[in-house]
Amino acid sequence: MKDKFYNYILNLQDQICQGLETVEGKAKFREDIWDRPEGGGGRTRVIENGNVIEKGGVNISAVHGKLPEAMRQLFNVGEADFFACGLSLVIHPKNPMAPTVHANWRYFEMYDDNGKVINSWFGGGQDLTPYYLFEEDAIHFHQTCKTACDKHSPEFYPTFKKQCDEYFWNTHRNEARGLGGLFF
């Protein structure tokens, strides 16, 4: 699964960046390929000062190594190896009538001493933060999220939406930040 997901996010990063550059017209993504000394690395892409996008990043990483102490305690395991990969993006438009979008999709594996997968999961989320709310945009965003979730389970959308809504609830203002999304 790790190779399949990693190849998926490699291609997805290319597709997203190409699509944004097409819409942008002026600015192009700068790329930085980096290595993690403990194992793995990533590809960071940043775009800024465009006609449409003020600043944005579409980044991928694939890292591996020994499970850090904090995670060993969290999962109540001894020494273990891990692999994690994901794609994250943040896009801030120039036009305040267009929303900011955040997303992070990731996959994680833990291994026993023999290299056998002992646990694996997907995680992440996505949310939309409009500066000016257009009801039809909110409906479209949430319907797209629901349609994707419903392909797998009718419980996913309400569960993941609730987790996102709770995370972005501003108790001091008694209001949500943005129009929510999904957290899983």
170 vs 63 pLDDT, higher one: 63
CA angle, 125 then 150 then 177, to 5°: 35
The predicted model scores a pTM of 0.90
pLDDT number for residue 3: 96
3-class SS of residue 89: strand
Identify the active-site residue in 64, 92, 102, 142. 102
pLDDT in tens, 28-74: 999 999 999 999 999 999 999 999 999 999 999 999 999 989 988 98
CATH number of 2-131: 3.40.1500.10
pLDDT in tens, 83-119: 999 999 999 999 999 999 999 999 999 998 899 999 9
Instruction: Identify whether 152 is a catalytic site residue.
Output: no
pLDDT number for residue 127: 94
Confidence band (pLDDT; 50, 70, 90) for 11? very high
* CB-based burial, 154-163: b 16+ in 10 Å, e otherwise: eebbeebbeb
Range(s) of the chain covered by CATH 3.40.1500.10: 2-131
